Structure 1
Amino acid sequence: MAERYSSFTPGGTMWLLQRITAAFLIVVLAFHFFLLHFVNHADEVSFIVSAARMETLSYYSLMILFLVTATFHGVNGVYNALINQGLTGRKKQAVKTTLIVASVVLIVQGVRTANAWAGGVPL
């Protein structure tokens, strides 16, 4: 029988954060589909309506939290998948550094975009 291997330590912090972010993403995606596909139909969604929604602090905050959570969840999952495939040594460190830098760039640009969309001054 195949041996189960995971780079996550069961019950560890990263293991727990991966599960918490997954649960959060499921809820936020359900909210997104409900709001943008059932409450408002595709022909009713416009840039102006979306910008007005982003001007609401609760919606803006939810979208920023969604951005950070999705970035962490995705990058953490990719990193651990690569570890599970046997990535070690200098390659492991290079991949980790690259993923961290890419995450920071993605989050900074996402916040800049959200700020501009919400009518604020982009960073």
Structure 2
Amino acid sequence: MAERYSSFQSGGRMWLLQRITAVFLLVVLAFHFFLLHFVHHADEVSFLASSGRMEQLSYYSLMILFLVTATFHGVNGVYNALVNQGLTGTKRTVIKWTLVAASVVLIAQGIRTANAWAGIGLY
């Protein structure tokens, strides 16, 4: 019988966060598909309409939360997949901090884009 191996400690904090973010992402993706594929059809979606949605605090907040959650979920999954493949020592540390830096850049750029779409300027 094959042994189960995972870098996640079963029942640990990161294990739990990975599962919670997965559920959140499924719910938000379902909302996205419902809103942009059934309520508004593809030919009705425009930059102006998207900008209008982003100007609503609830939608803007949901998209920022989606950005942060998806980034965490994806980066955490990649990191743990690499650890499961045997990444150790200095390489593990370098990869971890590279992924953290890439996450910070991705989130910062995503927030800048969301702010521009919502008409929020930093003057």
Q: Structure 1 length normalisation: TM-score? A: 0.98
Distance 1:120 1:38, change over 3 A: same
Q: In the alignment, which residue of structure 2 is the partner of 1:21?
A: 21
Deviations 1:62-101 (A, max 9, x none): 0000000000000000000000000000000000010000
Match of 2:62, SS?
helix
- Segments of 4+ moved more than 4 angstroms: none
Distance 1:107 1:7, change over 3 A: same
Deviations 1:3-33 (A, max 9, x none): 1100000000000000000000000000000
Q: In the alignment, which residue of structure 2 is the partner of 1:82?
A: 82
2:8 aligned with 1:8: yes
2:62 aligned with 1:41: no
**How many corresponding residue pairs?**
123
Match of 1:86, SS?
coil
Distance 1:103 1:122, change over 3 A: farther
Distance 1:4 1:68, change over 3 A: same
Q: Structure 2 length normalisation: TM-score? A: 0.98
CA RMSD in angstroms, aligned pairs only: 1.0
User: Deviation at 1:122?
Assistant: 5.2
Give the distance between the partners of 2:122 and 2:99, measured in 1 at CA: 24
User: Deviation at 1:2?
Assistant: 1.8
Unaligned runs of 5+ in 2: none
Task: Tell me: higher relative CO, structure 1 or 2? Use CA pairs within 8 A at least 6 residues apart.
Answer: 2
Preserved CA contact (<8 Å) 1:112 1:122: no
Unaligned runs of 5+ in 1: none
Match of 1:6, SS?
coil
Match of 1:26, SS?
helix
2:84 aligned with 1:120: no
Alignment-mate amino acid for residue 30 of structure 2: A
Percent identical:
79
